[in-house]
Structure 1
Amino acid sequence: MDQSTTPTPAPARRKTGLMRHLPLAVILIVAVIGAVTLRDHITFDTLRDNREALLAFRNDNIMLMALAFIATYILIVAFSLPGAAVASVTGGFLFGLTLGTALNVTAASLGAIVIFLAARWGLGRTLAAKIETTDGTLKRLKQGLHDNEISVLFLMRLVPAVPFFVANLLPALVGVRFVNFAFTTVLGIIPGGIVYTWIGVGLGEVFDRGESPDLSLLWEPQIIGPILGLAALAALPMAIKYFRGKKDV
């Protein structure tokens, strides 16, 4: 008998299936632990208390500081730990607007890709396969998403009301193509990344006044307006496709 056609034993298949879910399970466990243990430590107060030491280390070892910053930010995003906004502002505080934005976008994108792949490898693959076997509303929604992946993914990145971890997990669970996810993640987080980095550039003066940074700046009309404009632009292809379809009916 040809050994290549021998079916894989059921226990082995179950073990393989469980292993596929392990990365996402680890991320969820670490996220819960981090939410409980780190929420009072990754704060602007911590940054204020350690800013002199951080600035001195940056001045002496800027490459090492940049690598450590990227690694820390990736962990925060990949494990959905508290402090992503603090990390983004810190990037501007330590590295300025241009380099800080580049480091923020790079680290946030890599962290998002890590959690996307972990979710898609396990639960995402299983859920997408189950949706494909159905004929109901869920499958139609999934098909609609696939027909408008770029627009939907850009919208999820540009609309501030969508939590960052949701924009990382949900696409993986419905089988979004990796290339589209990565592309829209990198470009879609640039506007918000610039704003947070910009806040960080002036953080030293804020600390000198004994104040904390005002993250509500993101909701000021001159800031949120252009971002929502980009979101509307991202939605335009879907609107055109919809009205063309209505016209053809």
Structure 2
Amino acid sequence: MALLNQTNRSLLKRWLPPALLVMIVVVLYVTGSYKWISVEALVQNYTRLTAFVGDYLLAAVLIYMAFYALAVALSFPAAWVLTVSGGLLLGWWVAGLATIFAATVGASVLFFIAKTSLGEHMRENARGYIQKMRAGFQQDAVNYMLFLRLTPVFPFTLVNIVPGILGVPFRIFFWTTFVGIAPGSFAYSYAGEGLDSIVRAQADAYEACVAAGNTPCGISLKLGNIVTTDLLIALGALGVAALIPTIIKRLRKPAA
């Protein structure tokens, strides 16, 4: 009986955290609450949001950080909308710092879930390519983590989960995440602050449309207004630069 209880506790500890995350995500999608984090919602509520930030800046920053950490922990696919919104409403440097702290906290939640729920089992049964990948990742964890964080090609959620599965130490995960996401966080926040006139014009047009009783009142703000090719190229170049030490090390091994 004691062995059975211990097994049940072990299974509960392993699967309860990811199960809770999945349940929260399902509730958000079923209720449609996820739509609050969108470009459309930003434009529609822009006037009220700017008024709230003007009156309660500290509270606005704390709420922003809480929402951001939760969005990252829940693997929300458009967290960049929050970053841009933060830059627009809070200013690029305040939003940049808040984003770095909040995103690192949210990423750490996913890291621990992957490390304890999935990672332990996969590490015990790792064979072949997975074992080689784990060994290589641990050997150059810092460079690989910085590369994955700086390069906007890899899904943020995946980079939060894989290091936990491959056994990357938390201290390395934490500080490389904190440092690695800084350029992108400030870049997107800065891009968001630069959208003030565009979003304000969109918000005024939307409010005028609603006041006139016209339906539906659409939003024409597009992703291309925010995420430019130059921005992605710059972040990609930073990621490649972070991988240079690892490449040099690999090239030197055969010569040695």
Is this contact kept in 1: 2:163–2:173, CA < 8 A?
Answer: yes
Change (3 A) 1:152 1:13: same
Is this contact kept in 2: 1:35–1:81, CA < 8 A?
Answer: no
Counterpart of 2:251?
Answer: 243
1:220 aligns to 2:229 (yes or no):
yes
Counterpart of 2:99?
Answer: 104
Letter in 1 for 2:174: A
Q: Distance in 1 between matches of 2:93 and 2:35?
A: 29
Identity of aligned residues (%): 28
Counterpart of 1:171?
Answer: 163
Counterpart of 1:3?
Answer: none
Counterpart of 2:217?
Answer: none
User: Of 144, 168, 177, which residue of structure 2 is paired with 1:185?
Assistant: 177
TM-align CA RMSD: 2.1
**How does 1:1-249 map onto structure 2 within 5 Å?**
9-35=3-29, 37-131=32-126, 134=127, 136-210=128-202, 211-212=220-221, 214-215=223-224, 218-221=227-230, 223-248=231-256
Is this contact kept in 2: 1:151–1:234, CA < 8 A?
Answer: yes
Q: Distance in 2 between matches of 1:193 and 1:215?
A: 18
Is this contact kept in 1: 2:151–2:240, CA < 8 A?
Answer: no
Residue 217 of structure 1 deviates from its aligned partner by 5.1
Structure 1: stretches of 5+ with no match in the other structure: 1-6
Between Structure 1 and Structure 2, how many residues are aligned? 238
Residue 116 of structure 1 deviates from its aligned partner by 0.9
Q: Distance in 2 between matches of 1:54 and 1:218?
A: 22
Q: Distance in 2 between matches of 1:83 and 1:229?
A: 22
C-alpha offsets along residues 44-92 of structure 1, whole Å, 9 cap, x if unaligned?
Answer: 1111111111111111111111111111111111111244111101110
Relative to the length of structure 1, the TM-score reads 0.87
Relative to the length of structure 2, the TM-score reads 0.85
Residue 35 of structure 1 deviates from its aligned partner by 4.5
Change (3 A) 1:244 1:158: same
Q: Distance in 1 between matches of 2:79 and 2:4?
A: 42
Q: Distance in 1 between matches of 2:180 and 2:59?
A: 27
Q: Distance in 2 between matches of 1:218 and 1:57?
A: 26
Is this contact kept in 2: 1:34–1:82, CA < 8 A?
Answer: no
Is this contact kept in 2: 1:203–1:213, CA < 8 A?
Answer: no
Q: Distance in 2 between matches of 1:10 and 1:54?
A: 53
C-alpha offsets along residues 11-54 of structure 1, whole Å, 9 cap, x if unaligned?
Answer: 42232233222112222332344355344332111111111111
C-alpha offsets along residues 179-207 of structure 1, whole Å, 9 cap, x if unaligned?
Answer: 11111111111111112101211232112
Q: Distance in 2 between matches of 1:217 and 1:64?
A: 26
Residue 100 of structure 1 deviates from its aligned partner by 1.2
**Residue 81 of structure 1 aligns to a residue in which SS?**
coil
